[in-house]
Chain A
Amino acid sequence: GDSVTQMEGPVTLSEEAFLTINCTYTATGYPSLFWYVQYPGEGLQLLLKATKADDKGSNKGFEATYRKETTSFHLEKGSVQVSDSAVYFCALSGQGGSEKLVFGKGTKLTVNP
């Protein structure tokens, strides 16, 4: 079945550091890919998405590119802030409007001032 693998956390960075959180997936066909973010004590928010190969999703300075050849959707940000501290989830939705999201295990990011 479909699955998502994220890099293990936690990740601790200093403010203004470069962030990469790796995400790879296994799925048949062409899934849609997502990054969700969960701030402490809050719900899940959609951060960005990409629906086909080579698409780049971006939001709030975060970017991720859908790489079909490497089945990856790595999350990047050039300069993190303390307010980016959260848990980040990579997820996929299967081809053809599959009814459910499959999530990775989440990566906790802590940014120190």
Chain B
Amino acid sequence: DTAVSQTPKYLVTQMGNDKSIKCEQNLGHDTMYWYKQDSKKFLKIMFSYNNKELIINETVPNRFSPKSPDKAHLNLHINSLELGDSAVYFCASREGNTIYFGEGSWLTVV
């Protein structure tokens, strides 16, 4: 069983499209995250939710909108995709001081 699962794993789409990445964790954790890994492998937090409430928003463009329908899910919707949005997006959840990551979603905007 995958503890933090995200779909799709690979996504290729055209500029201007709107797309979503879904994330689910079956660990019972209250806190979930989205991280972005750029082409140079640098990882940076985008959002954090605690029990469905937004607690961190790291100056991400408002084309990115996270949604947490319940504490086990944190989806990421991206409007009007741009070339620069091409990256790997990681969902994660936290227990205590340890964060567990999903497998990543490889987004390519063409």
**Alpha-carbon distance A101/B43, docked complex (angstroms):** 9
A44/B55 contact (C-beta < 8 A), A101-B45, A105-B42 known = no
Known: A43-B104, A44-B90, A44-B104. A101 touches B99 (CB 8 A): yes
Find the B residue at minimum CB distance from A106.
Answer: B41
Say whether A93 contacts B102, CB under 8 Å. Answer: no
Complex CA gap A53/B16 in Å reads 49
- Annotate A24-50 by CB proximity to B: 1 below 8 A, 0 otherwise: 000000001010101000111110010
Chain B contact residues: over half helix, strand or loop, or mixed? strand
Q: Are B103 and A93 in contact (CB under 8 A)?
A: no
Query: In the complex, what distance in Å separates the CA atom of A100 from the CA atom of B100?
Result: 12
CA distance A51 to B40 in the complex (A): 28
A41 to B100, CA, bound (A): 17
Q: Which residue on B lies nearest to A93, using beta carbons?
A: B97
Q: Encode contact with B along A4-19: 1 for CB under 8 Å, 0 otherwise.
A: 0000000000000000
